[in-house]
């Protein structure tokens, strides 16, 4: 195994994954501008420089400010053609930097304001990803087994809450159910989405591999969506939850226990005793220690997104070594490095891994283990035997590159 310093070129050459990848946060900027002009969506600027300055900034005041970027990206993704195109381009961008497996997540209920149905949105995204995968896997070097194939899965995002002006169609849904508490309405939407996802997997074979819950945690607890997650759990879909991103460790525990989460999006506040807000927790340090042990023992994987965390957490901006990933490594937790949003966070998988290598002084073995976690803890769309075979191919290919 190589002992020389890890370089960007080395990282680009190695097979990688991205398990936490939002479609609506990962458009190509020229595509966003073109789609906005075509569909009549008003942008603050129609130049790349202007959008980077006014919308897709290097840092944000908080998570809410970060999430406002999606108002523009979602607005241009209201038609099947746009969804298919951006999914296709996203797969190509990943392939270009050596990423061999991606799980693309998005909330189909946010893409229905122009009459598109949730099912149509999911089919469109699958068409784009499938087209890119088939073209890549027709390469002679893939067909003859000299390099591993490219695969993908789709993760369906439920939302902790919806703003009425964020999706016209969902705004109508909210108004039609005005008699119900808001949290109840959002839970009903998640349940509807869970049932639709299971139907598409069973009846059409769509590679929907997992279910996610996204959006601000404060005031919108994961437990509201228990019924939706029970549906996907009963039907053997993978479960991941955005948790511990802008709330305390108790949010993480709730995601694991109430929603059967096998992976956690971010988990940034896992070790933060100061973030605990549940008054019933008397010994905060003991609670965190027990939670970390619980996660480690059950190999619950943390989807770590360094740049996006830096963008909304000022303390990390100038010192990435303060990121809890350092403690995750120390506790030997299962973690994988992800981009979150390639456009909003202005990053790539290679960039994220390079940041991890430099900030936490990873050696080649640690880098290899980190990459392997991504493949092993993926919600791979094939059978268990097929996944094992694919992971073995990835390991063999990786080790050949590292001993050259």
DSSP letters along 28-83, please? Answer: -HHHHHHHHHHHT---S-SSHHHHHHHTS-S--SSHHHHHTTHHHHHHT--SHHHH
What is the average pLDDT across 13-23? 98
Task: Using the Cα atoms of residue 288, residue 291, residue 295 and residue 301 in order, give the sign of their dihedral.
Answer: negative
What is the average pLDDT across 164-186? 60
Cβ atoms < 10 Å from Cβ of 199: 14
Is 1 inside a domain boundary?
A: no
Full domain range(s) for residue 82:
8-403
- pLDDT recorded at residue 164: 53
Q: Give the C-alpha separation, 323 to 55, whole Å.
A: 25
Distance of CA 305 to the CA centre of its chain: 9
Is 2 inside a domain boundary?
A: no
The DSSP element (H or E) to which 182 belongs, if any, is: helix 182-204
56-78 pLDDT, tens per residue? 998 888 877 888 899 999 999 99
| Lowest mean per-residue pLDDT among 84-98, 167-181, 236-250 | 167-181
The CA-CA-CA angle for residues 81, 87, 88, to 5°, reads: 90
DSSP code for 360: H
Is 109 inside a domain boundary?
A: yes
- Whose CA is closest to 33, among 84, 86, 87, 80? 86
Residues 394, 375 contacting (CB under 8 angstroms): yes
Q: Is 70 exceeded by the pLDDT of residue 182?
A: no
Is 3 inside a domain boundary?
A: no
Is 389 inside a domain boundary?
A: yes
| Residue 163 confidence class, pLDDT cut points 50, 70, 90 | low
- pLDDT recorded at residue 176: 57
CATH number of the domain that residue 316 is part of: 3.20.20.140
What is the average pLDDT across 74-85? 97
279-316 pLDDT, tens per residue? 999 999 999 999 999 999 999 999 999 999 999 888 88
Q: Is 70 exceeded by the pLDDT of residue 404?
A: no
- φ, ψ (nearest 5 deg) of residue 306: -65, -50
Q: Give the C-alpha separation, 366 to 362, whole Å.
A: 6
The structural domain count of the chain equals 1
| Residue 3 confidence class, pLDDT cut points 50, 70, 90 | low
- pLDDT recorded at residue 394: 97
Q: Give the C-alpha separation, 312 to 325, whole Å.
A: 16
336-385 pLDDT, tens per residue? 999 999 999 999 999 999 999 999 999 999 999 999 999 999 999 999 99
Is 247 inside a domain boundary?
A: yes
The whole model's pTM is what?
A: 0.94
Please list the alpha-helical segments (H only) found in 313-383: 314-317, 325-330, 349-360, 364-376
Of residues 403 and 127, more confidence is placed in 127
Q: Give the C-alpha separation, 338 to 101, whole Å.
A: 12
- pLDDT recorded at residue 2: 58
What is the average pLDDT across 149-169? 81
- pLDDT recorded at residue 174: 57
Is 358 inside a domain boundary?
A: yes
Is 379 inside a domain boundary?
A: yes
């Amino acid at each position: 195994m190589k002992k020389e310093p890890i370089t960007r070129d080395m990282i680009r050459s190695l097979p990688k994954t991205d398990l936490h990848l939002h479609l609506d946060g990962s458009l190509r900027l020229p595509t966003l501008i073109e789609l906005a002009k075509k569909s009549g969506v008003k942008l603050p600027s129609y130049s790349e420089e202007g959008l980077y300055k006014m919308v897709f900034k290097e840092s944000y005041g908080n998570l809410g400010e970060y999430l406002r970027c999606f108002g523009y990206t979602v607005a241009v993704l209201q038609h099947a053609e746009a969804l298919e195109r951006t999914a296709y381009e996203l797969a190509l961008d990943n392939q270009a930097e050596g990423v061999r497996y991606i799980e693309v997540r998005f909330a189909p209920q946010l893409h229905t304001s122009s009459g598109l149905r949730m099912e149509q949105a999911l089919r469109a995204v699958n068409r784009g990803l499938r087209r890119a995968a088939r073209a890549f896997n027709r390469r002679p070097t893939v067909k003859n087994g000299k390099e591993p194939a490219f695969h993908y899965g789709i993760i369906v995002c439920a939302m902790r809450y919806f703003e009425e002006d964020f999706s016209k169609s969902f705004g109508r849904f909210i108004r039609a159910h005005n008699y119900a508490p808001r949290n109840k309405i959002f839970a009903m939407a998640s349940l509807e989405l869970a049932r639709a996802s299971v139907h598409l997997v069973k009846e059409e074979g769509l590679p929907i591999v997992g279910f996610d819950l996204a959006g601000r945690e404060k005031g919108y607890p994961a437990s509201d969506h228990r019924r939706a997650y029970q549906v996907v759990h009963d039907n053997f879909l993978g479960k991941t939850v955005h948790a511990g991103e802008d709330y305390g460790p108790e949010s993480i525990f709730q995601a694991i226990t109430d929603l059967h989460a096998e992976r956690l999006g971010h988990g940034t506040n896992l070790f933060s005793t100061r973030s605990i807000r549940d008054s019933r927790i008397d010994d905060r340090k003991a609670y965190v220690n027990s939670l970390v042990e619980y996660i480690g023992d059950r190999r619950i994987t943390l989807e770590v997104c360094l740049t996006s965390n830096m963008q909304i957490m000022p303390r990390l901006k100038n010192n990435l070594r303060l990121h809890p990933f350092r403690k995750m490594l120390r506790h030997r937790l299962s973690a994988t490095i992800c981009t979150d949003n390639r456009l909003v966070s202005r990053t790539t998988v290679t960039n994220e891994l390079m940041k991890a290598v430099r900030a936490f002084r990873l050696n080649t073995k640690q880098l290899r283990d980190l990459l392997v976690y991504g493949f092993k803890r993926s919600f791979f769309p094939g059978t268990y035997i097929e996944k094992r075979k694919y992971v073995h191919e990835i390991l063999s290919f990786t080790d050949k590159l590292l001993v050259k």
